[in-house]
Amino acid sequence: MQFDLSAVETATMVFFGTLLFALLLTFFIMTAAFAALVLLGVGRLAWFMAVSLLLGAIHGINHAWDRLVHHAGSVELPGDFPGELIGQPSPSTGTYPRVVLRDS
């Protein structure tokens, strides 16, 4: 027995065509939503990596600076250094002893 498409009523063909179109549209929307979720995940991963690298670099710089300052504070330099370098002591403003007031 052969299937003859001309024997099917028009309403049945329209119904199945509508179902096929709805299925195609649903597949397209699901694919677009999946692609959007993938792009969102990739963007979030890239952002997380950038933030992690930046914070790691800042932490490394801070750690290196802290070690350098602590090391410089513990180093003993040979020789005697006078309390005041060459010349007279710098004038003092009282609150801020290293600030030099000009034209005051």
Task: Report how far Cα 18 is from the mean position of its chain's Cα atoms.
Answer: 47
Task: Band the pLDDT of 35: cuts 50, 70, 90.
Answer: very high
pTM of the model: 0.49
Taking only the tens place, the pLDDT of each residue in 42-74 is: 999 999 999 999 999 999 999 999 999 988 888
Rounded to 5 degrees, φ, ψ at 11 are: -65, -40
Question: 65 with 56: CB under 8 angstroms?
Answer: no
Q: With H, G, I as helix, E, B as strand and everything else as coil, classify residue 88.
A: coil
- Compute the distance between CA of residue 38 and CA of residue 20 in angstroms, rounded to an integer: 27
- Compute the distance between CA of residue 25 and CA of residue 30 in angstroms, rounded to an integer: 9
Residue 76 has pLDDT above 90, yes or no: no
